[in-house]
Amino acid sequence: MSTNTDVSLSSYDEGQGSKFIRKAREAPFVPIGMAGFAAIIAYGLYKLKNGGNTKMSLHLTHMHVAAQGFVAGAMTLGMGYAMCKAFWAKPNP
């Protein structure tokens, strides 16, 4: 039985920044969904701070639905993009 522990995998050698860039290239709609989610949360916090005449629970419910809708839309577009890339794009020779 061999106990060779000198195995070097490239995923362990890459840093967090390069790993995020690699994952973003593989699935470009994930960072878009993350950015949209953060933007909706920031907008919601801004509206909450600057007041308004809506109840807190109603405001939080609207922001929750908007954030979930944006993320679900980004996931749907990402899956559509992946399907187009996999099935309808010309294969590289």
Q: Which helix (H) or strand (E) holds 26?
A: helix 16-26
Q: How many domains does the chain have?
A: 1
pLDDT value at residue 6:
47
Tokens of 66: 């908007």
- Convert 7-22 to b/e letters by CB count within 10 Å (16 or more is b): eeeeeeeeeeeeeeee
Q: Which domain holds residue 77?
A: 60-88
Whether residue 69 is contained in a domain is answered as yes
Whether residue 9 is contained in a domain is answered as no
Whether residue 74 is contained in a domain is answered as yes
Whether residue 81 is contained in a domain is answered as yes
pLDDT value at residue 91:
65
Whole-prediction pTM value? 0.58
Between 47 and 1, name the one with better pLDDT.
Answer: 47
CA neighbor of 59 nearest in space, from 70, 47, 71? 47
Whether residue 66 is contained in a domain is answered as yes
Whether residue 16 is contained in a domain is answered as no
Whether residue 17 is contained in a domain is answered as no
Query: How many residues are there in the chain?
Result: 93
pLDDT tens per residue, range 43-79: 888 887 887 667 877 878 888 898 888 888 888 888 8
